[in-house]
Structure 1
Amino acid sequence: MIIDLLDKKVNTKGMLIGESWVDTPMQLPVFNPFSGNHVYSISCAEEEHVYKALESAEKGKIISKNLSPLDRSEIINKVVNLLKERKEEFTKVIVNEGVKTKREAGKEVDRCINTLTLCGEEAKRVIGETVPFAAFEGGSSKKGHYVYDPIGIITAITPFNDPLNLVAHKLGPAIAAGNAVILKPSDFTPISGIKLGELFLEAGLPYHILNIITGPIDNFGDILVTDSRIDMVSFTGGSKSGEVIAKAAGVKKIGMELGSSSPVIVMNDVDVEAVAKNCIGGMVWAAGQNCVGVKRMYVHDTIYDSFKEKIINLSKAVKLGNPEDDSTDMGPIINQEAISEIERSIENLVKGGYKVLCGGKRVGNGIEPTIIEGDFDNKLNGKEEIFGPVATISRVNSLEEGITASNDSPYGLHAGIFTNNIEHAFKASNELQCGGVMINDSSDYRIDMMPFGGVKKSGIGREGVRSAIREMSSTKIICFNLK
């Protein structure tokens, strides 16, 4: 739904193009997912706006490359300080436009502060190495090294579920590496990213290094992916969209963090209640709209019944409600279409032989935490990502069955295993096909400095500050012939 600018009755946000914030006659409304209220409006880009942003970014990549590492670091550190001062303001924005409770939103702001702090530190450590040319016959007269150059212009496309920190994971490393960025935030949660962009300008980031495009992509097509001036596309979102982008992008660098169906293996030598609490936390964070959230639980036969009872009771105890209420455990689903999609997925699992043990019903603009039981080798196992507070539980007789079931998926982002057996821990970490294995923690665990990404349909490349800076740089070899 697009509204005319003259009809707006809420705060509006323009696009950052070059040195100006640009409003358009047509606006896209942003709704609070819990209340359904129209809380913001954003400008809707057309092709002309994207081309102007590209022209600006061409200037920006030169300006950014010529900033010293110290300058880049100081600008990012100023953003960190501003964000600390305005934590409450940003927390309210995340709650108002997104799916997180106030507690979860506050933690996201803290993580964003950490992400950008790391970016400020790493901006001064973008270093190469010497190369021993003399190690090869005929190279005795040669000396050299390699360096990391900025890659140029990066398109950054971000999702709704972490509307602030995932923007920081793209802007921070890109600027630390000396690039220009064109940000396209989610249409559902664009305000957090726009406001972070405002902080970068307030901190002294020169114009043209950052441009922000908003509104439905149907208005301007795939220019931000296909244009030859774009040197890299950094995308976080669904696997289907990722495949479309990869096919359209052409010869340019691509970084993608895509879908997942994260498994957790629970062996029979653990504290069942503690593990069940950990798994529930990983399942309902951001109402399950979380790429590494717990989606599949494979529990050893000898503790299966006890674990199942506890996980059901914990699911039923989760309090849904107003995300602004401190007592609320879980917030809303992003929109009605997403709720319908979750319901369809639950229905498909039931038709395929699974049984709903608890939950599965709409509550206002949310979905009850849902536990669904089925055989570990069911043909539907792990084949679909359910972006909501839904997880399957299956009985396994051995670690080998748990690993086999976990790997039986087109996805491979994170996995978890709970065990006190060191051999089991090493075997699982070696054989699980994924980008990260969490031992005695759920798949949901992540810190912002670690390399982050997946295998198979879960992505290409790695995020995490230092890893992202490398992805957003090009390696240049320099060799001197001293003869």
Structure 2
Amino acid sequence: MLINGMWISKDNTTDITNPYTGELIDTVPYASTKDALKAVSSAWTNKHILACLTAQERADILDKAALLIIKRLEDFAQRIVAETGKTIEEGRKETSRCINTLQLSASQARSFNGESIPFDSMSSGKNKIGFYKREPLGVILAITPFNDPLNLVAHKLGPAIASGNSVILKPSGMAPLSALRLCEVLIEAGLPIKSLNVITGSGRELNKALINNDIIRMISFTGGTATGKKIAATAGIVRLSFELGGCGSCIIMPDANINQAVKKCVKGAFSAAGENCISVQKILVHRSIFNEFADKFVASTKLITYGDPRCEKTMMGTMISEKAAKQVQRHVDNAINKGAKVLIGNTVNKALYSPTVLTGVSEDDWLSKHEIFGPVVILYPFDDIKNAIDFSNAPGGAIHMAIFTSDINQAFSAFNKLEASMVLINESTDFRIDAMPFGGAGTAGLGREGVKFSMEEMTEPKAVCISLI
């Protein structure tokens, strides 16, 4: 871990194991509360370092880091595979997205600015001119999850660096290795080493020390809703940006291109073994095409090869742990005991959980109301689009929702009525690019990520007024 410009090792460590093989990959220091407080103190003492660099200098650091990762893409991809169980194809894709995120951050660093203020819009403002610029908040605490261990870290570090903030990074305790390597590359690219502190270990033990102080000016957290609520309850007067768990729906209308809808929804459901906050989880299919859609969806699911994530032909790897896989199976078994039917799947082999499709799940069941975070899809028939939208908008919040239809009027009607931060038309919920605003509606989040939007969250306007005598 990195505290006050020094890489620190400790006797007390955490084992990082490969979810597929169970082998020990590496160990990382298990930070103490004292370590966390040192990181907070260092971040405060050194908060002006990046703010004093020019926008061009900050952009150059980010661009150079991106170039270094391009040269080491395979190393990063293999690291992601080893610590998360994602497939090698998914590891390469995430690394490429990280590169893009850093490049976007560099571009925004060069163009991010304020605006002139029309003081003469009031009579008292005669002969006055002015403007505002956006200044860094100071110290940003970034807490990241295991499921995108590289790019979600880049989505916090890139905008924070671009906007001139000091950062304390707390990566996932289960998958911190990609994050640590990214930090090494940023420093190699010229990032002043004391502008970044990195703490590894248990979030439950460290978060209280990191959060409950007057130095942190913003907490950028990606993770579960329960943890987000705990952070919000103890954070005090601080800006919060939360990307939490979502439970979005895909609506399949009778005029949809069924083959395309099946193809995209299968991919969106089982990519990254469903450990994705915008994964396809609930599919609402018009009753007139329900059986056809279900048959084709199951047939397509049967074609998914899952297993060794290192193999180029593997389409779905493991979940993050055997514990996580068994937890998903318990929820599915509970639904089965209440009348749900398994069309395919629901088998566990250590951290591997098979692609699973269910029908007959009650709207009141846990699976229907919560983010599953596993490779499980529930198919529901509906008769009326209003009922489908009302069901989709049930309490709990969503990040993305989708509708498949050839009727543009129907599509935009759904766009206006679905309560999500993004509605996708003829695309599954798991589509995202790194430049777009991203976050949850309702209890699925606070604020927005996406480089430009994160930079707005991480800065505040400071105005100047000049009186022309």
Interval of TM-score (by shorter of Structure 1 and Structure 2): over 0.9
2:401 corresponds to: 415
**Who is 2:106 aligned against?**
120
How far apart, in 1, do the equivalents of 2:62 and 2:393 lie? 40
1:197 paired to 2:159:
no
CA distance in 1, matches of 2:380, 2:317: 27
Alignment CA distance shift 1:236-1:130 (3 Å): same
- Provide the rounded CA distance (Å) in 2 between the counterparts of 1:412 and 1:291: 9
Do the aligned partners of 1:74 and 1:120 also contact (CA within 8 Å) in 2? Answer: yes
Q: Which runs of 5+ in 2 are unaligned?
A: none
Shift of 1:58: 1.7
Per the normalisation by structure 2, the TM-score is 0.97
CA shift digits 1:14-38 (9 cap, x unpaired):
x111121000111100010111111
| Distance in structure 2 (CA, Å) of the matches to 1:377 and 1:293 | 19
The 5-angstrom pairing of residues 415-434 of structure 1 reads: 415-434=401-420
Does structure 2 retain, via aligned residues, the 8 Å contact 1:60–1:207?
no
Alignment partner of 2:251 out of 250, 265, 283 = 265
2:42 corresponds to which letter in structure 1?
A: S
Is the 8 Å Cα contact of residues 331 and 366 (structure 2) preserved in structure 1?
A: no
Q: Which moved more, 1:342-351 or 1:424-433?
A: 342-351
Aligned partner of 2:165 among 179, 195, 216: 179
How far is 1:381 from its partner? Answer: 6.8
Find the aligned partners of 2:389 and 2:398 in 1 and give their Cα distance.
Answer: 12
- Amino acid paired to 2:250: V
The answer on 1:31 being equivalent to 2:17 is yes
Select 1:136's aligned residue among 109, 122, 145.
122
Instruction: Name the TM-score, length of structure 1 as normaliser.
Output: 0.95
* Distance (Å, rounded) in 1 between the aligned partners of 2:207 and 2:258: 50
Contact 1:239 1:259 in 2 (8 A): yes
Farther-moved stretch of structure 1 (262-271 vs 194-203): 262-271
Structure 2: distance between partners of 1:96 and 1:375: 34
* 1:234 corresponding residue in structure 2: 220
- Contact 2:345-2:354 at 8 Å conserved across structures: yes
How far residue 462 of structure 1 moved from its aligned partner, in angstroms, is 0.2
* Cα gap change, 1:247 to 1:41, in 2 (>3 Å): same
Name the aligned partner's letter for residue 373 of structure 2: F
C-alpha deviation, 1:480, in angstroms: 2.1
1:16 aligns with 2:12: no
1:382/1:409 contact within 8 Å kept: no
Establish whether residue 329 from structure 1 lines up as the match of residue 321 from structure 2. Answer: no
Instruction: State the Cα distance separating 1:349 from its structure 2 match.
Output: 2.3
Partner-residue secondary structure (3-state), 2:311: coil
Residue-by-residue CA offset, 1:145-199 (whole Å, 9 max, x unaligned): 1110000000100000000000000000000000000000001110000000000
- In structure 1, the partner of 2:332 is 346
Aligned residue among 130, 136, 146 for 1:160: 146
- Please give the secondary structure, in 2, of the residue aligned with 1:441: coil
SS at match of 1:480: strand
Structure 2 counterparts to residues 55-454 of structure 1, below 5 A: 55-374=41-360, 377-378=363-364, 382-454=368-440
Distance 1:455 1:482 in 2: 46
Structure 1 residue 458 and structure 2 residue 432: aligned?
no
Residues 460/221 of structure 1: CA separation in 2 closer, same or farther (3 Å cut): closer
Paired residue secondary structure (1:417): strand
**1:112–1:164 contact (8 Å) kept in structure 2:** yes
Tell me if structure 1 keeps the 8 A contact 2:331–2:367. Answer: no
Amino acid in structure 2 at the alignment position of 1:425 = A
Give the conservation status (yes or no) of the 8 Å contact 2:361–2:378. Answer: no
Range moving further from structure 2, 27-36 or 397-406: 397-406
* Equivalent residue letter for 1:244: K
Tell me which amino acid in the other structure corresponds to 2:193: Y
Check whether the contact 2:59–2:162 (CA below 8 A) recurs between aligned residues.
yes
Once structures 1 and 2 are overlaid, which stretch shifts more, 138-147 or 255-264? 138-147
8 Å CA contact 1:119–1:172 kept in 2: the answer is: yes
Question: Residue 286 of structure 1: SS of its match in structure 2?
Answer: helix
Contact 2:56 2:109 survives alignment (8 Å): yes
- C-alpha deviations, 1:323-377, integer Å up to 9, x for none? 0001101000111221122012212322444222211111342111111113685
> Aligned partners of 2:455, 2:368: CA distance in 1, in Å?
32
Residue 374 of structure 2 aligns to which amino acid in structure 1? Answer: G
Q: Distance in 2 between matches of 1:193 and 1:294?
A: 26
Instruction: Tell me the SS of whatever aligns to 1:457.
Output: helix
Q: Structure 2: how far apart are the matches of 1:456 and 1:135?
A: 37
The answer on whether the counterparts of 1:146 and 1:477 sit within 8 Å (CA) in structure 2 is: yes
Aligned to 1:46: 32
- Runs of 5+ in structure 1 lacking a partner? 1-14
8 Å contact from structure 1 (residues 353, 374) kept in 2: yes
- Per-residue Cα deviation, 1:425-457 (whole angstroms, up to 9, x for no partner): 101110000111111100000000000001111
Q: Contact between 1:64 and 1:175, CA under 8 Å: does it hold in 2?
A: yes
The letter of the residue matching 2:283 is: M
Say which is worse superposed, 327-336 or 345-354, in terms of deviation.
Answer: 345-354
Greater mean deviation of Cα atoms: 33-42 or 406-415: 406-415
Identity of aligned residues (%): 40
User: Contact conserved, 1:381 with 1:408, CA < 8 A, in 2?
Assistant: no
